[in-house]
Structure 1
Amino acid sequence: MAALLLAGGLYVAYRATTEKALPAANLPSLAVPVVPTVPAATPGATAAATQPVAQPSAAVSEALAGPVTKVPSSSPTVTKAAAPKVTGKANPGGANLALSGVVAASSTEGGPFTADQAVDGDPSTRWSSGFAEPQWLRVDLRERRQLTEVTLVWEHSHATAYRVDVSLDGRTWRRIFSTTAGQGGTVTVAAGGAVARFVRMYGTKRSTQYGFSLFEFQVK
């Protein structure tokens, strides 16, 4: 079929054909890759039609997970070492160790009633504390001793509630006697062989409006 077109003011004639276009003879042929088509999933297809997924072998899984630490089914028994036994110098003669010790008190009433008056071996002198609660009197024996008893000789202003404590270092205390119904007088406390360097009376309740007062504080 022929047609006329106007181009740049000129009529150009061309002929349209239905012939196939052929490549030029001097051009190489091109290979067109063929892409395989994936069939669409058929409705109602079962899971058996799908391809199985490869699973890693046990060796590969272990290599990826890293080394495995095996925990024993039961923990080993741990035995604690026995604490070293605390020893102290014995006092076979029953001497009053407070006479050669260093005494201290929480407070003093004043005047002649200082702490050292309770460890001087004189039953006529005494220590008297300030008029408040609690109060304490402490003796440092200078070395660790094995104790048999502690004796308190109270003046009229005695303690109704108090305790007797022992310590190796003056910071951590262990109670060997306590009462909330003290009657004053002379009280002897059995120490049972306790090893200590420090011994104290710790008063928490007075019998009068005055302080805690001791004629003697003996440690044997």
Structure 2
Amino acid sequence: MPAPSVPSPVVPPAPVAGSEPVVQPSVTWSEAVAAPITGVPKPSPTVTSRPVPPKVTGKANPAGANLALTGFAAASSIEADHFAASEAIDGDPSTRWSSGFAEPQWLRVDLRERRSLTEVTLVWEHAHAIAYRVDVSLDGKTWKPIFSTTAGAGGTVTVDAGGTVARFVRMYGTKRSNQYGFSLFEFQVR
């Protein structure tokens, strides 16, 4: 038995009485297999293009108004009813939001529409964050940080938002300065 890689010889069929003569092929089987195939188009490379998403735009704030004043505040927790999230966006520097005594905690403001932001200002009470971020979001689910620190010293901190478009803005605190919660007198968004 020949080896599998060696082609079998071409054996013409025996003539049958009363049939037409068999015509021998002009090319042997091994030559026909080895002959290159011509006339078959080569596949063209596949080009995948992704549509460019539309540019996200937000309403401008040329007057520099505190947009948080007309927003809606929410928080991860509150220390007591008179330290509600809304107390940090009421424009009154004597009222404040204060969280529960644990980490992490957050305070978020919904601006009610997409806005082009220039800055975010945090006015900390004595119970400030040492480590925290300022995040922005279009949908309140996917967040992007615009500021982060692990050396917060309290006081008034103004973060440059650089024209970022967002509907939601939050402070996300991960380390407290003392045994109390995170506490903000004002959370301003411009």
TM-score normalised according to structure 1 size: 0.69
Query: In percent, how many aligned pairs have the same letter?
Result: 75
**Unaligned ranges ≥5, structure 2:** 1-7, 12-27, 34-39
- Does residue 131 (structure 1) correspond to residue 131 (structure 2)? The answer is no
Q: What is the CA-CA distance between 1:75 and the residue it aligns to?
A: 1.8
Deviations 1:117-137 (A, max 9, x none): 000000000000000000000
The correspondence of residues 146-165 of structure 1 with structure 2, limited to 5 A, is 146-165=116-135
Partners in 1 of 2:31 and 2:164 — Cα distance?
Answer: 67
Cα–Cα, structure 1 residues 52 and 123, in superposed 2: closer, same or farther, change >3 Å? closer
Take 2:75 and 2:9, find their aligned partners in 1: how far apart are those partners?
90
Q: Which runs of 4+ in 1 moved over 4 A?
A: 55-59
Q: In structure 1, list runs of 5 or more residues that go unmatched.
A: 1-50, 62-68
Decide which structure has the larger Cα Rg and report it: 1
Distance 1:52 1:147 in 2: 82
Q: Does 1:53 align with 2:10?
A: yes
Counterpart contact for 2:135–2:143, Cα < 8 Å: yes
Aligned partner of 2:18 in structure 1 is: none
Q: Any idea what SS the aligned residue of 1:75 has? A: coil
- RMSD over aligned CA atoms reads 2.2
* Structure 1 residue matching 2:82: 3-state secondary structure: coil
Q: Provide the aligned length of Structure 1 versus Structure 2.
A: 162
Structure 2 distance, partners of 1:81, 1:197, is 24
User: Is the alpha carbon distance of 1:53 and 1:157 closer, same or farther for their aligned partners in structure 2, counting shifts above 3 Å?
Assistant: same
Report the CA distance between 1:83 and its aligned residue.
1.4
TM-score (norm 2): 0.79
1:31-77 deviations in Å (ceiling 9; x for gaps): xxxxxxxxxxxxxxxxxxxx943465999x8xxxxxxx7543x6244
State the partner residue of 2:58.
88
